[in-house]
DNA sequence: GATGAATGAGACTTCATTCAT
DNA sequence: CATGAATGAAGTCTCATTCAT
């Protein structure tokens, strides 16, 4: 029995090692620079072994994306469960994206960009994980609307999508051009992001 | 004389044929799917011939990106020169992105995403073309602020970046998930985009 | 255990097979005719496999050059360790070049000509291997001078360079025009080489 | 009549332009870096035009080699006709190689190395040009022998070959490693070459 | 004669995936 | 289970030569 468990544990460890190595590689070479030779080297496993745990490179990517989404969901969930006002909650959720972006840059990229390159193939679980994120944001926005703070002509689901899209856009800009924008215009990343948040919140608030 | 002109015209035509074939390939296989074998096949030229017109694959990409940016600049410029109120102008500019996205999807992708993968290497001309776009939007937002319609605590350059980033984010979402969002939530692309625009405009307007 | 050893042996065999195929190709097409397609074909390996053993074509060339140099060094070392008079030693060393040239023509070419096309890039090990050859010849010439048989106005290092350069020149001539010279003037390669040797030795000897 | 002559003169000019451009290219990129695209650009002729004057890249190379040989022959001839002692003549001829090497480095390379890569195909004229060089050196050595200054056991033709081969070897070493030898051992190129010459001359002289 | 656009074989290298051990 | 050697298609780019105009 315990042998079986140990084996399972080891198997799990191997999976983690692979994912961790893949993360390292992508942090170094970018989202499209995932390379199984390097993953094998970094995880100290044989290349063939990778295929015992993941049926393709694509699956590694999908698994990491799933985790990334789940990780963000966790953050959102924490905030959702806090006992604070709906606008503050909204602010916190928006800010959580920025924190996520700074602390888990690869996860952020996966959450933002995975869909762009794999629109058609998403499997059930992966798809669900995406819905979950939307749903949480949707709830928070709905609550805010119900509390009377938000314009009633705004459809909460539409606003959810708007928020998500704009947030991703803002953070991608920061990633790609953040330092240039600071150098050239003296606009710090934090200022840029806060500005975005304030505009969005005033944008959906009642006058 | 006319022979020379004809030759030049033909040369220009070939260049266009290559760019057109490259566009086709990228429309089919994505921004990262540009493949010179296919370009050669589609343009009915030998592979080597491509290198008479562009010194590398990268140059094809850069050329298309430059054109894409110039094309968007032209649209923005038209609007900038119209004799209409500053808020209407702003609205028109934002909408122009959506039109651009619908009519020239590849160009839109290039304008949105080229930087993400070539941040460091941009040459003078290409860099300028990017600045030009920002500058136009900046002017329009500045004008609106000077006319007293926009919050004074908003820095125009920051708002310019916010607008650009959010617009790109919104349109990328529409590209990737537009039809799904419509199917599932009944939110049409147009509605989604308009909502974004209204939120942004109310977000920067004086109350 | 023995499995591991066998695998290592097989790996080593493959490396050798590649080097051997490369040697064949170069013997047939010349020093500059090394072509990985042919090497793959001759070694009955896939092209990609070559890159498991050598990181580039250049590395194959460098490896063969290193071996060639080491092979010549071994010959020189044997002679250096013989207990014979210094002039006889010198004669034997010079002759060893000719033997090397006849028995390992590709190695000889690599030893003679590799530098000409890679002057700047030589790595540590390769560079060392070149020094080693010079050093041995230098020692032999120095010994001869110390024994009083050689002109004292001759700097041993200069003479070393002179000997090396002239030997290579002579053997390159024999390679390229040897048979023609025999046919036309009835001068056998051996005679030509011996003549060179005698001239050189008398040239550095005390009168 | 004069029209025909003008045309011929122009044709000759074009040929020269091509050869001159080819020389430039090879000086910059080495003996094996001859590239017809660059030749066309430098000579301001169309690529196709090159083929009206030379039937292949190879022929350009052969023509330049012929000229290089003729140029060296001219130098040797001058010396041969001088009224000086046979040993001084020999010294001068040897030195002429060094001068040739310094002043016309590409020509020197062609004279030294062309054969190595084209041993089989040499045409009549080219072959003759090579013979001519040997013949001159042969005469000079023969004269010296007849004057009683040179060992009688030395066959003049063999010595001719020895001299040529050793000289080429020495100058190739200087070309490839000259500066390194200076840096490392403090042996200047001139010293190295002179040393070679003295060794050779003493080597063939009567004791 | 002159042009130069076009060709296309061929070179090197990469990498996801397979499979015998 | 694990290995890692082997594969081979695919990709970018070069360049001597040809040929329609």
Answer for the pair A100, A160: CB distance below 8 angstroms, yes or no: no
Please name the residues in contact with C12: beta carbons below 8 A apart, sequence gap of 6 or more: none
d(CA D175, CA C116): 8
Residues of B in contact with A199 (CB under 8 A): 154, 159, 162, 200, 203-204
Residue D59: strand, helix, or coil: helix
Partner-chain contact A155 B187, CB within 8 Å: yes
Taking the C1' atom of every nucleotide in all shown strands and the CA of D50, the nearest one is E2
Classify burial at B207, counting beta carbons within 10 Å of its beta carbon; exposed 0-12, middle 13-18, buried 19 or more.
Answer: exposed
Section B113-136 average pLDDT: 86
Residue A203 has its nearest CB partner, among B165, B167, B202, at: B202
B45 touches strand E (CB under 7 A): yes
* D43: its two tokens: 């000579």
**Cα C50 to Cα D8: distance, rounded to the nearest angstrom:** 54
Asked if A155's CB is within 8 angstroms of B195's CB, the reply is yes
Which B residues 28-87 touch A at CB under 8 Å?
30, 32
Alpha helices in chain D (DSSP H): 2-29, 36-43, 47-53, 57-81, 86-103, 105-118, 124-146, 156-185, 189-204
Give percent of chain C above pLDDT 90: 87
- Name the 3-class secondary structure at D149: coil
Tokens of A12: 């799990």
- Please, are residues D171 and D97 in contact by the beta-carbon 8 Å criterion? yes
- pLDDT tens sequence across C45-77: 999 999 999 999 999 999 999 999 999 999 999
Residue nearest to nucleotide E4 (CA to C1'): D46
Return positions of chain E under 7 A from a protein CB: 1-21
Q: Is the CB of B128 under 7 A from strand E?
A: no
**A34: Cβ under 7 Å from strand E?**
yes
C154 in helix, strand or coil? coil
| CA separation for the pair C61, C151 (Å, rounded) | 40
Look-up of token digits 């330049």? D64
Residue pair D94/D197 in contact (Cβ under 8 Å)? The answer is yes
Least confidently predicted of B11-15, C77-81, C100-104, C183-187: B11-15
D179 touches chain C (CB under 8 A): no
pLDDT, tens only, A45-67: 999 999 999 999 999 999 999 99
| Among A94, A58, B207, C202, CA closest to D203 | C202
Which residue in A has a C-alpha nearest to residue B178's C-alpha? A161
Chain B CA closest to residue A187: B158
The residue in chain D having the minimum alpha-carbon distance to the alpha carbon of residue C189 is D158
Nearest chain A CA: its distance from B8 CA (Å): 39
Neighbors of chain D by Cβ distance (3+ pairs < 8 Å): C
Q: In b/e form, how buried is each residue of B109-132, taking b as 16+ CB within 10 angstroms? A: bbbbbbbbebeeebeeebeebbeb
**Tokens in use for A145?**
């609307």
Confidence of residue A121 (pLDDT cuts 50, 70, 90): low
DSSP chain B: -HHHHHHHHHHHHHHHHHHHHHHHHHHHH-TT---HHHHHHHHT--HHHHHHH-SSHHHHHHHHHHHHHHHHHHHHHHHHHS-S-HHHHHHHHHHHHHHHHHH-HHHHHHHHHHHHHHTTT--HHHHHHHHHHHHHHHHHHHHHHHTT-B-TTS-HHHHHHHHHHHHHHHHHHHHHHHHHHHHHH---HHHHHHHHHHHHHHHHB--
Residues in chain A with CB shorter than 8 Å from the CB of B168 are: 169, 172-173
| A184 in B contact zone (CB under 8 Å) | no
- pLDDT beyond 70 at C159: yes
Query: Nearest protein residue to E2's C1' (by CA)?
Result: D49
Give the closest-approach CA distance of C200 to chain D in angstroms.
Answer: 6
Q: How far apart are CA C102 and CA D129, in angstroms?
A: 29
* Contact with chain D for residue C190, Cβ under 8 A: no
Which residues in chain B have Cβ-Cβ distances shorter than 8 Å to A177? 115, 119
Q: Is the pLDDT of residue B121 over 70?
A: no
Kindly report which amino acid residue has its CA closest to the C1' atom of nucleotide F11.
Answer: B35
Closest residue by C-alpha to C1' distance, nucleotide F8 = C46
Which of B171, B178, B195 should one mutate to test binding to chain A, selecting the residue with the greatest count of A CBs within 10 A?
Answer: B195
Q: Residue C98 in contact with residue C193, Cβ under 8 Å?
A: yes
Residue A107, H or E segment: helix A105-118
Strand F, nucleotides < 7 Å from a protein CB: these are 1-21
**CA nearest to B79, candidates B88, B69, B66:** B88
Q: Do chains A and B touch (3 or more CB pairs under 8 A)?
A: yes
Residue C205 is given by DSSP the state: B
Predicted confidence band of residue B1 (pLDDT cuts 50, 70, 90) = very low
Determine whether A135 is exposed, middle or buried from the number of CB atoms within 10 Å of its CB (0-12, 13-18, 19+).
middle
Position of tokens 């806060």? A194
**In the structure, what pLDDT confidence band is assigned to residue A128 with cuts at 50, 70 and 90?**
very high
- Is the pLDDT at C147 greater than 80, yes or no? yes
- pLDDT value at residue C11: 87
User: Is A138 near chain B, with CB under 8 Å?
Assistant: no
According to the model, what pLDDT value does residue D131 have? 93
From the CA of C45, how many Å to the C1' of E20? 16
Quote the CA–CA distance of D194 and D149 in Å, as a whole number.
20
Determine the distance in angstroms separating the CA of D84 from the nearest CA of chain C, rounded to an integer.
23
Q: Of B93, B166, B197, which is closest to residue A195 (Cα–Cα)?
A: B166
Residues whose CB falls within 8 Å of the CB of residue B72, separated by 6 or more in sequence, listed in order: B96, B97, B100, B107, B111, B133
Cβ within 8 Å, pair C195-D164: no
| Residue B25: predicted pLDDT | 96
What is d(CA B105, CA B175) in angstroms, rounded to the nearest whole number? 9
Q: How far apart are CA D117 and CA D119, in angstroms?
A: 6
D194 touches strand E (CB under 7 A): no
Closest nucleotide (C1' vs CA) to D51 is F17
Conformation bin of residue B84: beta by default, left when phi > 0, alpha when psi is -120 to 50:
beta
Interchain contact, A191 vs B162, CB within 8 Å? no
Q: What is the pLDDT of residues A64-116, one digit of tens each?
A: 999 999 999 999 999 999 999 999 999 999 999 999 999 999 999 999 999 88
Helix (H, G, I), strand (E, B) or coil at A205: strand
Contact C155, C136 (CB under 8 A): no
With an 8 Å CB cutoff and a minimum of 3 pairs, decide whether chains A and D touch.
no
Q: Which residue has the tokens 């001219």?
A: D74
**D132-142 b/e with 16+ CB inside 10 Å = b?**
bbbebbbebbb
- Nucleotide E14's nearest residue (CA vs C1') is C48
Question: From the list C32, C166, C195, which residue is nearest D196 (CB)?
Answer: C166
Q: Between the CA of residue D25 and those of A136, D20, D33, D46, what are the distances in Å?
A: 68, 9, 7, 16
Residues in chain D with CB shorter than 8 Å from the CB of C196 are: 162, 165-166
B82 φ, ψ to 5°?
-70, 150
pLDDT in tens, C76-94: 999 999 999 999 999 999 9
Mean pLDDT on A154-172: 97
Q: Measuring from the CA of residue B60 to each C1', which nucleotide is nearest?
A: F12
Please give the nucleotide, over all strands, whose C1' is closest to the CA of residue D10: E1
Q: In angstroms, how far is F4 C1' from A52 CA?
A: 14
Q: Give the 3-state secondary structure of residue D161.
A: helix
Residue partners of C189: CB distance under 8 A and separation at least 6 = C174, C178, C181, C182
Mean of per-residue pLDDT scores for chain D = 93
User: Is the model's pLDDT at C1 over the cut of 50?
Assistant: no
Q: CA of B30 vs C1' of E10, distance in Å?
A: 29
Mean pLDDT over C11-34 rounds to: 94
Q: Nearest residue on chain C to D187, judged by CA atoms?
A: C158
Q: What is the mean pLDDT of residues A129-141?
A: 95
Mean pLDDT, residues B35-45: 95
How far apart, in whole angstroms, are the C-alpha atoms of residue D120 and residue D116?
10
* Angstroms from C55 CA to nearest CA on chain D: 24
* Mean pLDDT, residues D113-122 taken together: 77
Of C116, C176, C203, the CB nearest to D176: C116
Mean model confidence pLDDT for chain B: 93
Residue D135, pLDDT above cutoff 90: yes
At residue C165, does pLDDT exceed 50? yes
Q: How far apart are CA D122 and CA D58, in angstroms?
A: 11
Indicate the pLDDT class of residue B92, thresholds 50, 70 and 90: very high
Q: How far is Cα C29 from Cα B1, in angstroms, rounded to an integer?
A: 49
Any chain B CB within 8 A of the CB of A204?
A: yes
Q: Is the pLDDT of residue D38 over 90?
A: yes
**Which residues of chain C does D179 touch, with a Cβ-Cβ cutoff of 8 Å?**
none
Among B157, B166, B177, whose Cβ lies nearest the Cβ of A196? B166
Q: Of D196, D197, D204, D205, which to mutate for an interface test with C (greatest number of C Cβ within 10 Å)?
A: D196
Quote the pLDDT of residue C115.
86
pTM of the model: 0.91
Nearest CB neighbour to C157, from listed D168, D187, D200: D187
- Which whole number is the average pLDDT over B103-110? 96
What pLDDT sits at residue D145?
A: 93
Q: Is A206 on the interface with B (CB under 8 A)?
A: no
CB neighbours of residue C110 within 10 Å: 24
Interaxial angle between packed helices C124-146 and C156-185, expressed in degrees from 0 to 180 and rounded to the nearest 10: 90
- Rounded to whole angstroms, the Cα distance separating B64 from B15 reads 11
Phi, psi of B196 (to 5 degrees): -55, -45
**Which residues have a Cβ under 8 Å from the Cβ of A82 and sit 6 or more positions away?**
A89, A92
- pLDDT tens by residue, C88-118: 999 999 999 999 999 999 999 999 999 888 8
Confidence of residue B116 (pLDDT cuts 50, 70, 90): confident
* Tens digit of each residue's pLDDT (9 = 90 or more) over D145-174: 999 999 999 999 999 999 999 999 999 999
CB contact under 8 A, B202 and A202: yes
């Amino acid at each position: 029995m315990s042998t079986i468990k140990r084996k399972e544990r080891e198997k799990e460890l191997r999976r983690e090692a692979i994912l961790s190595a893949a993360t390292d590689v992508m942090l170094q070479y970018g989202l499209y620079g995932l390379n199984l030779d390097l993953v094998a080297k970094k995880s100290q496993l044989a290349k063939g072994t990778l295929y015992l745990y993941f049926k393709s490179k694509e699956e590694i990517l999908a698994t990491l994306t799933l985790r990334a989404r789940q990780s963000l969901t966790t953050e959102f969930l924490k905030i959702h469960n806090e006992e604070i006002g709906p606008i503050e909650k909204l602010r916190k959720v928006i800010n959580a994206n920025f924190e996520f972006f700074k602390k888990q840059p690869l996860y952020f990229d996966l959450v933002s960009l995975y869909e762009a390159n794999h629109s058609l193939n998403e499997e059930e679980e992966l798809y669900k994980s995406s819905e979950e994120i939307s749903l949480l944001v949707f709830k928070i926005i709905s609550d805010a609307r119900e509390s009377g703070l938000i314009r009633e002509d705004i459809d909460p689901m539409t606003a959810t999508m708007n928020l998500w899209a704009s947030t991703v856009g803002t953070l991608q800009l920061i990633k790609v051009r953040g330092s240039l924008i600071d150098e050239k215009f003296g606009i710090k990343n934090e200022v840029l992001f806060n500005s975005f948040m304030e505009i969005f919140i005033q944008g959906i608030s009642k006058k």
